[in-house]
Structure 1
Amino acid sequence: MQYTYTAVITEKDGTFYAKIPDVDGCITTAPTLTEAIALITDALNLCLVGLEDEEITPNEPTPQAEIPHLPTDILTIIQADTIKYRSMTDTKAVRKNVSLPAWMSKLADKRGINCSKVLQEALTTKLL
């Protein structure tokens, strides 16, 4: 799933504090603005994956103009793609049994085709 939220970033004494107000617990800190944006993006993906796994619908994004913030805060749009995030972080292989017609299995073996790889590539194309 793809999501778009606004992050509020506050700088204090050389540390950048970033949060997504619409997602409870989605906060991080970093020594630079660039790193704060990268870390809050990762945190948002992780929080949303957790919500999806628990079958909890995330809050709708608040319009940026309605987000409470200080005049010195930085507001930035953060995009999350939980399917892409899962594909990069959840790389543990699981065994699945599939059924193929006998002729297809024999021909694939004869041609040296790795059925697991072909299935992964096909599912990646369908899911992403």
Structure 2
Amino acid sequence: MLSMYPACFYREDDGYSVIFPDLNYLATQGDTLEDAMEMAVECLAAHLHSCKADGEAVPAPSSLTDIDPVAVSKEVSPDEPVGEAFVNIVSVDVEAYAKAHFEKSVRKTLTIPAWLNTAALEQGINFSQTLQEALLSKVQAK
């Protein structure tokens, strides 16, 4: 399912800043407009994916015409001058993006003693699952 939210894009000396006013002023940036758009898609996907995983409600997107990029800029940085700014819809299929970027498995090669390999195979132990469980317990313990 496609999720679409308006985002304010601001031209700056070193690229573009992007702010999603509907999502508590969630922000990102990019060196070029293309980079900023890619970062906006990633930022939106990550935020919505995280909200879903945590069971948090997500506000409905505003209409594109209801967003004033100058007003948003003044809310975020009241003393900063506002240069070139525009509003654009950023869209992403969160589920597809998450599968491709957040939940993608990577292959790892490891070495274990031969006796341990034999014993694990005899017991029908799933090596990938066991390694994932062990790594998760290590990561969560820190």
TM-score surpassing 0.5?
A: yes
* Counterpart in the other structure of 1:26: 26
CA–CA distance in 1 between the matches of 2:41 and 2:104? 20
Q: Are 1:54 and 2:54 counterparts?
A: yes
Taking every aligned residue pair, what percent have the same amino acid on both sides?
Answer: 18
Per-residue CA distance 1:78-118 (angstroms, 9 max, x = gap): 1121110121020249xxxxxxxxxxxxxxxxxxxxxxxxx
Task: After TM superposition, give the deviation of residue 25 of structure 1 in Å.
Answer: 5.3
CA–CA distance in 2 between the matches of 1:45 and 1:79? 9
In structure 2, the gaps of 5 or more residues are 71-82, 107-142
Instruction: State how 1:73-84 maps to structure 2 within 5 Å.
Output: 73-84=85-96
Instruction: State how 1:1-128 maps to structure 2 within 5 Å.
Output: 1-24=1-24, 26-70=26-70, 72-89=84-101, 90-92=103-105
CA RMSD between the two structures: 1.9
TM-score w.r.t. length of structure 1: 0.65
Equivalent pairs counted in the alignment come to 93
Per-residue CA distance 1:19-38 (angstroms, 9 max, x = gap): 11111352111111110001
TM-score w.r.t. length of structure 2: 0.59
More helix by percentage: 2
In structure 1, the gaps of 5 or more residues are 94-128
Residue 11 of structure 2 aligns to which amino acid in structure 1? Answer: E
* Counterpart in the other structure of 1:120: none
CA–CA distance in 2 between the matches of 1:92 and 1:43? 21
Displacement over 2 Å in runs of 4+: none
